[in-house]
Structure 1
Amino acid sequence: MESKTLKVIELFAGVGGFRLGLEKSNYKIVWSNQWEPSTKIQHASKVYEARFGKENHSNEDINEVVQRNVEEIPDHDLLVGGFPCQDYSVATTLHNSKGLKGKKGVLWWAIHKILEEKKNKPKYLFLENVDRLLKSPAKQRGRDFAVMLQSLNDLGYAVEWRVINAAEYGMPQRRRRLFFIGYHKSSELFSKLKESRKIDWILKDGTIPSAFPVKNSSELFLSKFQLKGDLVEITDNFNKTGKKSPFENSGVMINGEVSTIKTEPSYDGNYTVLGDVLQNGEVTSEFFIDDKDKDKWEYLKGSKTIERISNEGHKYKYSEGGMIYPDALDNASRTIITGEGGKSPSRFKHVVVSERGLRRLTPIELERLNMFPDNHTKLEGISDRKRAFFMGNALVVGVIEKIGKELYKQINQLEYA
């Protein structure tokens, strides 16, 4: 039977990392949204439109779109997005007939509203976030993820999740992110997960371990618990006394039951390292470190103890260890952060040694570390600093490509066989 093209909407699209990964398989983006709230010029959206066209692309606050009418968003099989890490707590409100209210402006509730109100709900979700979501906030570790899981459970979705460090599977950047996939109860994959041994799903049968294999863990270490109460109760009471989050780096949730276990990557393929992505001999002078700044760079990268004063007025000593400087070329790079661009010395920017001296990374090199095509973010009016910012916000395209390919395979085998 002929393979079916799956329709996708891409939220919080940035410069299109999800799209680049998914379009390697039989997915079609039918609608996308990118909105940067704090900036007048919508740089990321401009890059997205330049690469993929303006058709079916929305550059409007997603909260305003969903408040107006979720049916403006086309029907789709898969909803994807890397949404910001915020406070997901829920409160009771007298004015709201449903009695529940998430914090205004928290973008998780925009996703929630689409899933809740669309007549034809997407059967699948593929979402990305920082790995600290599993253990935030500090006073109730894991509460935010529990709110999210229970809200998806209420909407009829099962969830599979894993924290993946791209470098542990041969990719060029040590970037650790949480990926989770949702399966609606109307899908065959929901039924398959329901009938499965949860430990088998997490370790080998699920979508994520099929794409990113893990070593076998002892079943004795599998933790199971039921999410109790509505979203307000979870907000108020989840893990109030626990010092540690109950969520490990891998797990599933179906019908409110969580099964979770710590897994380790299993990979024996090739590795790409920082040295492999460098533009040798093609780098212009502005990326080289000025002799007058070298001492400042060395100081910032070195170990130090600094006396600081807390908000309450107490003096304390803040210590930080030294960093490998310049960055090692025979290993995957450190995580790119949004402040990577610009000439000013910084502890966190990458510095590499070349025949012509020490230098920062170029926008093309940063794109390669996230497995984007060369010059994907190059556009008139977009500075190198802004291009670096995009890559600090982006995801590793190779991770999306592998999970997307495996999800497509699973859906195609079960739903359209």
Structure 2
Amino acid sequence: MKKENTIQVIELFAGVGGFRVGLENANKDLFKVTWANQWEPSKKAQEAFECYTRNFTEGQHVNEDIADVPDEVFEQVEPDLIVGGFPCQDYSVARSLNGEKGIQGKKGVLFWQIERVIEKTHPKFVLLENVDRLLKSPSSQRGRDFAVMLATFRNLNYTVEWRVINAAEYGFAQRRRRVFIFAYKNGIAFDQRQKKLDAKDIVFKEGFFAKPFPVSEEPFKNREASDYIPVDRVEISDNFSFNFHNAGVMREGKIYTAHVQPDLIDPTPLKDILLDDELVDDKFYLTKEAEEKFEYLRGPKKIERTSADGHKYFFSEGGMSPVDDLDKPGRTMLTSEGTVNRSTHIVEVNGRKRFLTPIECERLNGFEDDWTAGMRDRMRYFCMGNALVVGLIEIMGKRIEEIDSVENDSEEVVQIGFSL
């Protein structure tokens, strides 16, 4: 049963709860996560789920493959908002042999589970996160996968806005670039207001993302485009390609997209999230052997290699700084953080080089210190590499609170489409 004056939330692919942390930081009394799912199929120990249940006690928490959750479960939930970060996968589709639904997605594609949950629950809002290469995948048919997703939302009767956001460009401590997708149900009051706007105004001034994450008023180097998504998702999968820019809107299959430039906010430098030296365990400092290894890994390379068919070629790699600049925000953290590889952060403090600690990685994403305490260090790094910058979700949560209040408006509903 939905409680009055709350926004009921389903959190899919929850990880250690980044969406929930951000929403509760925005307004804990308003956002209520009533059902959450986290399942790591490749791991026996479900440490992310255990972390989630340690930190959150309210709501139903489910640790199983979402594909195995029956439809009836979702039919009993009444969410206003569905959130989730899901993997970038192959979204090609084909006609099923018996014609059911007209398409057949590849097994294991988690976006189809998002579609299923939306079909069963009909929330007002959906907020998703993914890597920014989603807009360009696959390389052989650029934009196909994202177009399939947009068509799915169109078929479900939603309008979609999207925006690639680099957290550091809006004041945070990590240069983490991700695409955020916000869908809202056609016909709600917020939708009616947006229908009165030109698509360009939505992207640059008045949209879900443009208000809290301001951008310059014109497309970068005039990079903008418009198009229509085919009705048939199979046709999209077989033939459609399109150059999606880093921001855009889709309504009823009509696309407007543009390359936007953020109005920059000074980022938080890496030095501001570091622990005091006395709090850093010796195990995080590099041995001489490890220093030499990282010097090689981060240095320039030109190595002759031989392919499986005997072809010789050169693998080339440019050099990078031997340590991370403490006066800049951190680079994008990966799941391999803390291991001996080129992408791991190495900081030098008082003449000593070391890894970031798990707590510092939590800070890079905006979590409380020791949010993942209780896990092995390797898993703490892995979970933070998978997580999002919760401060961005807090900002988006406040924006959702703002637009949800529009539902109480008595403004007359007027059907007005936007121009391409």
**TM-score normalised by L of structure 2:** 0.92
SS in structure 1 at match of 2:128:
strand
Q: Report deviation, 1:131.
A: 0.1
SS in structure 2 at match of 1:128:
strand
Match of 1:276 in 2: 272
Aligned residues: 402
Amino acid at match of 1:373: E
Match of 1:168 in 2: 169
Task: Say if 2:56 is the partner of 1:34.
Answer: no
Match of 1:351 among 346, 364, 388: 346
Task: Say if 2:226 is the partner of 1:229.
Answer: no
Amino acid at match of 1:198: A
Cα distance change, pair 115–148 in 1 and its aligned pair in 2 (3 A): same
SS in structure 2 at match of 1:366:
helix
Match of 1:83 in 2: 86
CA distance in structure 1 between the aligned counterparts of 2:318 and 2:408, rounded to whole angstroms: 52
Amino acid at match of 1:361: L
CA distance in structure 1 between the aligned counterparts of 2:343 and 2:396, rounded to whole angstroms: 29
Of 179-188 and 366-375, more deviation after overlay is shown by 179-188
SS in structure 1 at match of 2:211:
helix
Q: Deviations over 1:14-48 (max 9, x none)?
A: 00000000012221111100000111111100000
* 8 Å contact kept, 2:298–2:322: yes
Output aligned runs, 1:218-367, within 5 Å: 218=219, 221-239=223-241, 245-268=242-265, 270-281=266-277, 282-342=279-339, 345-355=340-350, 357-367=352-362
Cα distance change, pair 312–257 in 1 and its aligned pair in 2 (3 A): farther
Q: Report deviation, 1:213.
A: 0.5
Match of 1:111 in 2: 114
Q: Report deviation, 1:189.
A: 1.9
Q: Report deviation, 1:311.
A: 4.2
Cα distance change, pair 47–237 in 1 and its aligned pair in 2 (3 A): same
Q: Deviations over 1:309-353 (max 9, x none)?
A: 3344321111111111210000000010001124xx321111101
CA distance in structure 1 between the aligned counterparts of 2:37 and 2:219, rounded to whole angstroms: 42
Output aligned runs, 1:201-212, within 5 Å: 201-212=202-213
Cα distance change, pair 190–128 in 1 and its aligned pair in 2 (3 A): same
Q: Deviations over 1:103-136 (max 9, x none)?
A: 11110000111122x1x41011000000000000
Amino acid at match of 1:213: P
List structure 1 segments (4+ residues) > 6 angstroms apart after TM superposition.
Answer: none
Q: Report deviation, 1:228.
A: 1.4
Q: Report deviation, 1:209.
A: 1.0
Match of 2:200 in 1: 199
Q: Report deviation, 1:167.
A: 0.5
SS in structure 1 at match of 2:45:
coil
Q: Report deviation, 1:202.
A: 0.5
**CA RMSD for the aligned pairs?**
1.7
Match of 1:387 in 2: 380
Unpaired stretches in structure 1, ≥5 consecutive residues: 240-244
**TM-score normalised by L of structure 1:** 0.93
* 8 Å contact kept, 1:371–1:396: yes
Percent sequence identity over aligned pairs: 49
SS in structure 2 at match of 1:174:
coil
CA distance in structure 2 between the aligned counterparts of 1:69 and 1:112, rounded to whole angstroms: 15
CA distance in structure 2 between the aligned counterparts of 1:72 and 1:221, rounded to whole angstroms: 43
Cα distance change, pair 35–218 in 1 and its aligned pair in 2 (3 A): closer
Output aligned runs, 1:62-211, within 5 Å: 62-66=66-70, 68-71=71-74, 74-116=77-119, 118=120, 120-211=121-212
Amino acid at match of 2:397: G
CA distance in structure 1 between the aligned counterparts of 2:406 and 2:318, rounded to whole angstroms: 50
CA distance in structure 1 between the aligned counterparts of 2:318 and 2:366, rounded to whole angstroms: 30
Task: Say if 2:398 is the partner of 1:405.
Answer: yes
Q: Report deviation, 1:294.
A: 1.9
